[in-house]
Amino acid sequence: MLKQPAMGDRNMSRRLKASLFILLIVSSAAGSAVAQNDPLPSWNDGAPKKAIMDFVGRVTKDGGADFVPVEERIATFDNDGTLWNEQPMYVELAFTLQEVAKMAPNHPEWQTAQPFAAVLHHDMKAMAASGDEGMMKLFLATHSGMTEEQFEQTVSEWLAASQHPKFKRPYTECVYQPMLELLAYLRANGFKTYIVSGGEQGFMRPLTEKLYGVPPEQVIGTQFKSQYVMKTDAPVIERMAGVLSIDDGPGKPENIQRFIGRKPIAAFGNSDGDIQMLEWTGSNAKPNLELLVHHTDAGREYAYDRQSSMGKLDKGLTEAAEKHWVVVDMKADWKVVFPGPNAQN
Amino acid sequence: MLKQPAMGDRNMSRRLKASLFILLIVSSAAGSAVAQNDPLPSWNDGAPKKAIMDFVGRVTKDGGADFVPVEERIATFDNDGTLWNEQPMYVELAFTLQEVAKMAPNHPEWQTAQPFAAVLHHDMKAMAASGDEGMMKLFLATHSGMTEEQFEQTVSEWLAASQHPKFKRPYTECVYQPMLELLAYLRANGFKTYIVSGGEQGFMRPLTEKLYGVPPEQVIGTQFKSQYVMKTDAPVIERMAGVLSIDDGPGKPENIQRFIGRKPIAAFGNSDGDIQMLEWTGSNAKPNLELLVHHTDAGREYAYDRQSSMGKLDKGLTEAAEKHWVVVDMKADWKVVFPGPNAQN
């Protein structure tokens, strides 16, 4: 730090004064370099980056017409396909299928009962035929019947031992670098960043602090029922095989209201399951920003939208044009996709 | 702020030096006065105050054996009977009964259907006979069928127009001054303060920021079902006549896990409905503090415990002794009960 000379000082040597003068120039140059630093270096210059930075500039400008007080700067992010990769299948589904295989020896009935038999015999057609209901059966069977702590440990161990089939890196490194910068940029500007995802809360929470800097109390997801039980030594919370709330589609604004109790001023998603969250945010009387990540990059990541079974973006793409939502063209707008030196950039 | 003279300065006048010396003394005295300021002036010196201050001192002492990082300093507070008055009936019940009367002209069937008839005809015996189930019917009838915003406005208007039958002041002034100081003291020491109450979330949230400095996203309560609906002009969230989660007894730790995802290190309650929240907090491997407010002050407030129909404290009083929970004797431990010059002190 540069120490300013005291006002009344007249005996300072010329040499010292000269040094200080140079220091002042360097310091001032550094200061302006910091001010001009790009908070979103992995974003190409283009409409999405400009829209984000204009919005943040407006809502944080003290005394400006669009100023929003800090406590109302709520930003909500979908997770799968918005903050990290969701192809060829949701990370949580990959976990679920492996857990079914791991648990199968204790469940001989799964050899014939659907959708478990389909998973164990790699029968993709039967699995698809079981639909959302079948998927929920798989989730409930693998996500319940243990305490919260036990489940957290199972998830953490699986993540440490697994990797993405295409990118050959841990799933935890398949997060989107431009979105990490966006999270940090918003927080640096007083935003409280939340995850609002269809993923199950207990699956996401062991990850979100480390991956995204989002603490557990700012993670909203699909919730299963739970039960407080007093054991002989200590109480535990047991995960039950029942759905309390599905955090997808209309469930997203319902859960935002239930958990946060404020309407966001910014919302980020990538699929039709995010439409209602973006609509809800767009109905805020305060200035607001809605953004969809469009996966257009078959080389560095994946290209999919209206026909995809995971992260389908069909109605949302149509609605985005009508409602002036920002659409990120991943291939054109992102300089890099994943963080680190091994990124497929 | 006191500006330090630069090291190399030798020509400063004696007068300026003398002034600075005086400023230094004043500044140092002010600093030590701040340090010695009592953060809990409405608490008499006694075991509860000492336990609170010892605990906060230990968990905030950097490098100490009992240090707890800021992000884990979660404190949860019951509301009715812990932060504000709950006699002769819960504030929300007073609201509910008046709403039933207000809505009755549109519900001729209520003249004969229980528990509504009991309310309309002031039949306390029939009302008591309807039990928890009857109470829930009253809550659902008065708390659903409107949007969140409409309900918030109804609650705010009722609170502005109502007063406590004994204290002849608005319910919003029947908060406990010593607990307001405790909330502020914990927050000043890096704690995140949550309300975890049996009261309905939408009823509490219009109040908590102004009364307690607790923002809506840190208010956990009983939750009704809700439904996101896209109207022609804008989306709304409608309150439905169904219970999603009752935030009382075992529901408190279940909801703490669901909303916060961390175990508290401090919990404050006053009734048997808080037992599980205190047990859960007491099972934290980190240092922790559990406290019950015992209403012993028939003069300044109310005296009740094991036999009370509202805020019954029976099993909790027994358990407190076994588990070394702090029990506040309201009459002995609190210098004042309510804030402001008109307090019944």
Average pLDDT over residues B203-224: 97
Question: Does the beta carbon of A280 lie under 8 angstroms from any beta carbon of chain B?
Answer: yes
> Which positions in chain A touch B151 (Cβ < 8 Å)?
none
Percentage of residues in chain A having pLDDT higher than 90: 85
Q: Per-residue pLDDT tens for A122-172?
A: 998 898 899 889 999 999 999 999 999 999 999 999 999 999 999 999 999
Tokens representing B345? 């002190």
Confidence of residue B31 (pLDDT cuts 50, 70, 90): very low
| CB within 8 Å: A235 and B8 | no
Confidence of residue B223 (pLDDT cuts 50, 70, 90): very high
CA distance, residue B271 to nearest chain A CA (Å): 18
Answer whether residue B21 shows pLDDT above 80. no
Candidates B148, B215, B276; nearest CB to A257:
B148
Residues 6+ apart with CB under 8 A from A193: A75, A77, A183, A186, A187, A212, A213, A214, A218
A311 and A304 Cβ atoms separated by less than 8 Å: yes
A239: helix, strand or coil: strand
B64 and B70 Cβ atoms separated by less than 8 Å: no
Confidence of residue A283 (pLDDT cuts 50, 70, 90): very high
Confidence of residue B128 (pLDDT cuts 50, 70, 90): confident
Q: What pLDDT is stored for residue A336 in this prediction?
A: 97
A318 and A324 Cβ atoms separated by less than 8 Å: no
Confidence of residue A340 (pLDDT cuts 50, 70, 90): confident
Q: Per-residue pLDDT tens for A55-94?
A: 999 999 999 999 999 999 999 999 999 999 999 999 999 9
Percentage of residues in chain A having pLDDT higher than 70: 88
Q: Per-residue pLDDT tens for A38-61?
A: 999 999 999 999 999 999 999 999
Neighbours of B209 (CB within 10 A): 15
CA distance, residue A223 to nearest chain B CA (Å): 8
Answer whether residue B151 shows pLDDT above 60. yes
Confidence of residue A36 (pLDDT cuts 50, 70, 90): low
Q: What pLDDT is stored for residue B340 in this prediction?
A: 84
Q: Per-residue pLDDT tens for A313-333?
A: 999 999 999 999 999 999 999
Give the CA distances from residue A233 to residues B282, B283, B320, in Å, rounded to whole numbers and listed in that order: 12, 9, 17
User: What is the rounded distance in angstroms from the CA atom of residue B280 to the CA atom of residue B323?
Assistant: 12
Q: Which of A13, A220, A231, A257 to mutate to test the interface with B (most CBs of B within 10 A)?
A: A257
Answer whether residue A191 shows pLDDT above 60. yes
Q: What pLDDT is stored for residue A8 in this prediction?
A: 40
Question: Does the beta carbon of B234 lie under 8 angstroms from any beta carbon of chain A?
Answer: yes
> Which positions in chain B touch A245 (Cβ < 8 Å)?
244
Across B93-124, b (16+ Cβ under 10 Å) vs e yields bbbbbebbeeebeeeeebeeeebbbbbbeeee
Nearest to residue B250, comparing CAs of A241, A229, A239, A147?
A229
User: What is the rounded distance in angstroms from the CA atom of residue B252 to the CA atom of residue B311?
Assistant: 15
Question: Does the beta carbon of B131 lie under 8 angstroms from any beta carbon of chain A?
Answer: no
> Which positions in chain B touch A11 (Cβ < 8 Å)?
8-11
> Which positions in chain A touch B251 (Cβ < 8 Å)?
228
B120 and B104 Cβ atoms separated by less than 8 Å: yes
Answer whether residue A23 shows pLDDT above 70. no
- Work out how many CB contacts closer than 8 A connect A with B: 104
Residue-wise DSSP of B183-206: HHHHHHTTPEEEEEEEEEHHHHHH
Average pLDDT over residues B104-123: 96
Mean pLDDT of chain A: 90
| CB within 8 Å: A226 and B257 | yes
Would strands A235-245 and A266-269 be described as parallel, antiparallel, or unpaired?
A: unpaired
| CB within 8 Å: B276 and A217 | no
CA distance, residue A54 to nearest chain B CA (Å): 25
The residue in chain B having the minimum alpha-carbon distance to the alpha carbon of residue A4 is B6
Locate all alpha helices (DSSP H) within chain B, ordered by sequence: 14-36, 47-59, 91-103, 116-120, 124-143, 148-161, 177-188, 201-212, 251-259, 275-282, 315-323, 330-333
Mean pLDDT of chain B: 90
B224 and A254 Cβ atoms separated by less than 8 Å: no
Percentage of residues in chain B having pLDDT higher than 90: 85
CA distance, residue B253 to nearest chain A CA (Å): 7
B199 and B86 Cβ atoms separated by less than 8 Å: no
Locate all alpha helices (DSSP H) within chain A, ordered by sequence: 14-36, 47-59, 91-103, 116-120, 124-129, 131-143, 148-161, 177-188, 201-212, 251-259, 275-282, 315-323, 330-333
Residue-wise DSSP of B260-292: T-S--SEEEE-SGGGHHHHHHHHT-SS--EEEE
User: What is the rounded distance in angstroms from the CA atom of residue A96 to the CA atom of residue A203?
Assistant: 10
What phi-psi label fits residue A255: left (phi over 0), alpha (psi between -120 and 50 degrees) or beta? alpha
> Which positions in chain A touch B276 (Cβ < 8 Å)?
228, 230, 235
Percentage of residues in chain B having pLDDT higher than 70: 88
Answer whether residue B28 shows pLDDT above 90. no
| CB within 8 Å: A71 and B215 | yes
| CB within 8 Å: B11 and A6 | no
Q: Per-residue pLDDT tens for B287-335?
A: 999 999 999 999 999 999 999 989 999 999 999 999 999 999 999 999 9
The residue in chain A having the minimum alpha-carbon distance to the alpha carbon of residue B256 is A217
Lowest-pLDDT range of A90-104, A330-344, B193-207, B232-246 = A330-344
CA distance, residue B290 to nearest chain A CA (Å): 15
> Angle B338-B341-B345 (CA atoms, 0-180°, nearest 5)?
45
Taking the CA atoms of A38, A44, A49 and A50 in sequence, report the sign of the dihedral they define.
Answer: positive
Beta bridge partners of B328: B293
